């Protein structure tokens, strides 16, 4: 499989705060990789590093490399990175209203991506917009193309944002919590549509989510982040059958099960530590029932586990 996105031991700081520490993950063509963790785990920062957008928030890569299709993004000019975004890397945000211009009709906002990145004339761009909207199962695409953003439901707006991300024919899509603001039924539909489009077109998708249920639904591999470090990475099937890191197991335990009584959803006690108050050793130790003295003083190095890696001194499954 051709690896499109490859992060190798990437560390990121903003000012004096070290926020990501040695993150490694890759996404190959035709593959869907979930990047999962609670708020504050570093998921969105990892996405910004992957898109070369850290300077926008005053961030910088302090170690490791980000490669897109074999090219070191750190060695590119700003113009080179800008050219990749939109054309070869599409981005889907969690809030469609930040991506849509409220005073421009829907169709024009999708057309412009194909005109800009593919150089299509207006009529061809519009034909492409309507085709994409139909593939995203938007009923009566021609009427929706003439609508204003405020006339559409949240689920419909998110489909338009996905159409915009696909309109430049990218090779890689990075989707940051693309369904968080939507109700559960619409969430499931959109994830399923996005998954089939990625597979049909042989694209690569990095799907950022806090929800292991979404990972189980559509991803091939999953990378679990905790407090800026990679806890576990591997094939979804293997990790769901036998997770090795206690944090991964806890996240899987948070997936609501059918028939579960209302209010019985299990959360993970405690909270992700703030960047300025990271505990020594394993950062998960204050929340971990398996924590030992070793965990409290020494950082667990990532080691091979099955077809992936785990960073834990006392993994739950054999390594």
Q: Which residues bind ligand SF4 (CB under 6 A)?
A: 245-246, 282, 284-285, 288, 290-291, 295, 300, 312-314
Residue 26, φ and ψ in degrees, nearest 5: -140, 155
Yes or no: say if 189 and 155 are a contact pair by the CB < 8 Å rule.
yes
How many H-runs (helices) and E-runs (strands) does the chain carry? 12, 12
Q: How far is the CB of 237 from ligand SF4 (least distance, A)?
A: 22
Question: Which residues, other chains included, contact 107 with Cβ-Cβ below 8 Å and sequence gap of 6+?
Answer: 126, 129, 130, 144, 145, 146
Q: State which residue, 67 or 285, has the beta carbon closest to ligand SF4.
A: 285
Nearer to ligand SF4, 50 or 310 (CB): 310
Q: Which of 62, 31, 33 is nearest to 47 (CA)?
A: 33
149/308 with CB nearer ligand SF4:
308
Q: How far is the CB of 313 from ligand SF4 (least distance, A)?
A: 4
Closer by beta carbon to ligand SF4, 142 or else 294: 294
Chain mean position to CA 145: 28
Q: Least distance to ligand SF4 from the beta carbon of 84, Å?
A: 36
Shortest approach of ligand SF4 to residue 251 CB, angstroms?
Answer: 12
CB of 311 to ligand SF4, least distance (A): 7
Nearer to ligand SF4, 107 or 315 (CB): 315
Interatomic CA distance for residues 273 and 141, integer angstroms:
46
């Amino acid at each position: 499989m051709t690896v499109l996105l490859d992060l190798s031991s990437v560390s990121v700081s903003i000012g004096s705060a070290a926020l990501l520490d040695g993150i490694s993950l890759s996404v190959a063509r035709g593959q869907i990789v979930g990047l999962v963790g609670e708020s504050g785990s570093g998921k969105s920062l990892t996405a910004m590093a992957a898109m070369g957008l850290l300077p926008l928030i005053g961030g910088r890569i302090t170690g490791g490399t980000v490669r897109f299709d074999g090219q070191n993004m750190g060695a590119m000019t700003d113009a080179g990175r800008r050219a990749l975004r939109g054309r070869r890397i599409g981005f889907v945000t969690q809030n469609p209203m930040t991506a849509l211009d409220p005073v421009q009709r829907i169709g024009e906002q999708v057309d412009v991506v194909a005109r800009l990145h593919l150089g299509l004339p207006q009529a061809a761009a519009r034909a492409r917009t309507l085709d994409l909207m139909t593939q995203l199962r938007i009923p009566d695409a021609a009427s929706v193309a003439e609508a204003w953003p405020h006339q559409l439901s949240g689920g419909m707006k998110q489909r338009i944002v996905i159409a915009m991300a696909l309109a430049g024919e990218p090779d890689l899509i990075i989707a940051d919590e693309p369904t968080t603001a939507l109700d559960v039924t619409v969430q499931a539909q959109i994830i399923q549509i996005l998954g089939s489009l990625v597979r049909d077109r042989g694209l690569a998708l990095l799907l950022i989510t806090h929800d292991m249920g979404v990972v189980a639904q559509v991803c091939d591999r999953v990378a679990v982040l905790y407090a800026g470090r990679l806890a576990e990475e591997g094939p979804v099937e293997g990790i769901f059958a036998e997770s090795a890191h206690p944090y991964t197991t806890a996240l899987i335990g948070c997936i609501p099960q059918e028939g579960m009584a209302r209010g019985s959803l299990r959360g993970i006690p405690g909270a992700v530590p703030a960047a300025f108050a990271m505990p020594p050793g394993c950062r998960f130790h204050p929340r971990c029932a398996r924590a030992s003295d070793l965990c409290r003083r020494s950082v667990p190095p990532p080691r091979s586990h099955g077809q992936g890696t785990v960073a834990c001194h006392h993994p739950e499954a054999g390594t």
